Amino acid sequence: MRIYECADYRAMSRRAASLIAAQVVLNPEGVLGLATGSTPIGLYSQLVEWYKQGDLSFAGIRSVNLDEYLGLAPTHEQSYRYFMQQNLFDHIDIKPENTHVLNGLAADPDAECAAYDQLIRELGGVDLQLLGMGHNGHIAFNEPGDNFGLGTHVVSLSERTIDANQRFFESRDQVPRQALSMGIKSIMGARRILVVVSGEDKADAVCRAVTGPVTDQVPASVLQLHPDVTLVGDTAALSKLKEAGVPVCG
């Protein structure tokens, strides 16, 4: 695992965006696995800026997103399809038909999950998968205790994840209790993985994921077993790694 330390959120976003941009330039018809949440917003903004400057094109890129809330329409302001449109897709030249997000209103969620895994296979797999990391070490919506062998599946959200997402809704009661999510097996199938982390509140999770045992109690720890993982974080998020003596690059 390669670990890069950046001074702050802005620098982290730019470094992570540069890695994604390099992937797009090297493989302009490749498949990007994309993530939502507050952490990737800055890097998406940087990619949009480079596109508008004429430095980058997504015309041939295909994308697949990690997850979606069960029960939310694509037009709902808190759906992940809406997030991607607002923060990236509507501002670059990626073709709408090449952007793929799980359908939160699927009549048969299990069938939707199976079809999504088939879609990823038909696309030839994910070339670069972007990930954030939750406070409990979850990646996508794979919570502690979830089976590492699962593909895309229906997930019941933990109380901690519901609490963390409450800020995006008018009340806690409005936060969906389930989601459709790529599983650990799906994520580990990507050729390359890029993890972005920011803030002191993520320091414990990052340290446990990188230095602790590989355990389903810290889902991100499974990334230790992947052959090509890059972690980009700001100084605060990587603080406990440095205390533990883990080498990081500047």
Say how far apart CA 94 and CA 87 lie, in whole Å: 13
- Give the span between the Cα atoms of 200 and 185, in whole angstroms: 29
Cα dihedral 195, 197, 201, 206 sign: positive
Catalytic residue among 67, 68, 112, 234: 67
CA-based nearest residue to 126, from 211, 63, 215, 44: 63
The strand ranges marked E within the chain are 2-6, 31-34, 62-65, 67-69, 99-100, 128-131, 153-156, 178-181, 192-197, 229-234
Residues 174-231: tens digit of each pLDDT: 888 899 999 999 999 999 999 999 999 999 999 999 999 999 999 999 999 999 999 9
Across the range 32-49, mean pLDDT stands at 97
Q: Which of 68, 100, 127, 138 is catalytic?
A: 138
Q: Residue 67 catalytic?
A: yes
Q: What angle do CA 78, 79, 85 make, to 5 degrees?
A: 100
Note the pTM of the prediction, 2 decimals.
0.95
Reported as a pLDDT band with limits 50, 70 and 90, residue 82 is very high
pLDDT of residue 175: 85
Query: Is 97 among the catalytic positions?
Result: no
Which of 105-119, 134-148, 158-172, 233-247 is predicted with the least confidence, judged by mean pLDDT?
Answer: 158-172
Give me the residue label for tokens 């209103």. 105
Which of these is catalytic: 87, 98, 103, 136? 136
| Residue 84: predicted pLDDT | 98
To which H or E segment does residue 213 belong? none
Residue 248 lies in a domain: no
CB 237 within 8 A of CB 197: yes
Q: Say what the pLDDT of residue 4 is.
A: 97
Note if 200 is an active site residue: no
Q: Is 249 within a domain?
A: no
What DSSP designation does 185 have? H
Write out the residue range of the structural domain in which residue 218 sits.
2-243
When the pLDDT of each residue in the chain is averaged and rounded to a whole number, the result is 95
The count of structural domains within the chain is 1
> CA dist 67 to 35, 39, 81, Å?
8, 15, 9
CATH number at residue 229: 3.40.50.1360
For the beta carbon of residue 75, count every other beta carbon within 10 angstroms: 9
Residue 110 included in any domain: yes
Q: Active-site residue among 5, 112, 143, 146?
A: 143
Asked if residue 31 has pLDDT above 80, the reply is: yes
Active site residue 143: yes
Class of residue 192 by CB neighbours under 10 A (exposed 0-12, middle 13-18, buried 19+): middle
Which pLDDT does position 167 carry in this prediction? Answer: 81
Tokens describing residue 102: 């799980």
Rg (CA), the chain: 17
Whether residue 250 is contained in a domain is answered as no
pLDDT (tens digit per residue) in 52-68: 999 999 999 999 999 99
